């Protein structure tokens, strides 16, 4: 990316704020073993209020849960669960969706018809219902969650890439590449895909946030990662029975999910705004 474009992105306030929030959660996830004050599975003092001193030294900054585990430590390790699996699942969905979308948009004909039919069938189901159905059938595990997200999200990505490929494949530089004898996959990956990076970058940021929410929802429903893995959704589920007496049990995990989604949404809006301005100026 040229320096002028990079500076335009970095000067946009929503890119800075959203990118800062997202980067902060990424660093928290990567540095979890270093910054978490306690082992997230260690049972200490049940239902300690926020800012309660630890008799053994230290402080329960956000309190403890029903069995005495430190909430701050579980939130920090839960960030690793959400950020890592949401990113991996979204990247896998993008690999499938981009490959299918490029093939359908460039090849057209029967290839487009078959792939579009499969995508429309999957998209006809509500996404959350599809997640739940897949996890119930194959069971909750990290790999199965990634497979479920890929299966449910790839069709929407496919439709975006297909629409862009249909437009770009009719342009002169693509026709020139065909005339020079370049292979179809080289044309798709070198000539078409780079021209789709703007819309895909915006969608990628939003989709990670949506995936994080879906992972939290699955955890809340007891269909997320197997316990006792720290998971923001399962933390809300575990604390909801005593939320009236101890509201902090669900407030802090909900704030974590909301802040991550806010950061990614602001980042996506900022990227979209800057890209739109550049297109209008060109």
Q: pLDDT (tens digit, 9 = 90+) per residue, 256-278?
A: 999 999 999 999 998 888 877 77
**Model pTM score:** 0.86
Beta strand ranges found along 51-134 (DSSP E): 52-53, 59-60
Q: CA 169, 162, 191 angle in degrees (round to 5)?
A: 35
Task: Quote the CA–CA distance of 146 and 29 in Å, as a whole number.
Answer: 18
Q: Which domains does the chain have, with CATH numbers?
A: 3-27+78-281 (1.10.3720.10)
User: What is the per-residue DSSP string for 241-272?
Assistant: GGTTT-THHHHHHHHHHHHHHHHHHHHHHHHH
Task: Quote the CA–CA distance of 76 and 143 in Å, as a whole number.
Answer: 22
pLDDT of residue 93: 93
Task: Quote the CA–CA distance of 203 and 89 in Å, as a whole number.
Answer: 14
Cβ pair 162, 105 in contact under 8 A: yes
User: What is the per-residue DSSP string for 19-50?
Assistant: HHHHHHHHHHHHTHHHH-SS-TT---STTPPT
Q: Taking each helix axis from N to C terminus, what angle separates 13-30 and 71-107, rounded to the nearest 10 degrees?
A: 120
Hunting for tokens 């575990």 — which residue is that?
238
Question: Does the bond joining 228 to the residue before it have cis omega, within 30 degrees of 0?
Answer: yes
Per-residue pLDDT tens listing for the chain (282 residues): 456 667 777 788 898 999 999 999 999 999 999 999 999 999 999 999 999 998 888 899 999 999 999 999 999 999 988 888 888 999 999 999 999 999 999 888 899 999 999 999 988 888 778 888 888 888 778 888 888 888 888 999 999 999 999 988 888 888 888 888 888 888 888 888 888 888 888 889 889 888 888 888 888 888 877 777 888 988 998 888 888 899 999 999 999 999 999 999 999 998 888 877 776 665
């Amino acid at each position: 990316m040229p320096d002028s474009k990079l500076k335009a992105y970095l000067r946009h306030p929503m890119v800075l704020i959203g990118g800062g929030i997202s980067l902060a959660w990424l660093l928290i996830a990567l540095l979890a073993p270093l910054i978490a004050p306690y082992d997230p599975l260690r049972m200490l003092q049940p239902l300690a209020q926020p800012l309660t001193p630890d008799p053994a030294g230290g402080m329960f900054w956000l309190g403890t849960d029903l069995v005495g585990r430190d909430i701050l430590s579980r939130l920090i390790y839960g960030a690793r669960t959400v950020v890592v699996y949401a990113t991996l699942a979204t990247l896998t969905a993008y690999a499938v969706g981009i490959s299918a979308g490029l093939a359908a948009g460039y090849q057209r004909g029967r290839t487009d018809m078959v792939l579009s039919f499969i995508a429309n069938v999957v998209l006809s189901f509500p996404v959350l219902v599809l997640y739940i159905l897949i996890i119930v059938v194959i069971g909750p595990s990290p790999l199965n969650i990634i497979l479920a997200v890929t299966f449910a999200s790839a069709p929407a990505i496919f439709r975006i890439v297909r629409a862009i490929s249909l437009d770009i494949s009719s342009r002169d530089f693509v026709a020139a590449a065909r005339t020079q004898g370049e292979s179809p996959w080289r044309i798709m990956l070198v000539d078409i895909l780079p021209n789709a990076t703007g819309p895909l970058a915006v969608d990628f940021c939003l989709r990670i946030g949506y995936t994080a929410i879906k992972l939290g929802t699955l955890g809340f429903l007891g269909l997320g990662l197997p316990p006792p893995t720290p998971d923001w959704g399962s933390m809300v589920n575990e604390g909801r029975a005593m939320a009236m007496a101890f509201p902090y049990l669900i407030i802090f995990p909900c704030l974590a999910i909301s802040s991550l989604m806010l950061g990614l949404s602001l980042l996506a809006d900022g990227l979209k705004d800057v890209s739109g301005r550049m297109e209008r100026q060109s």
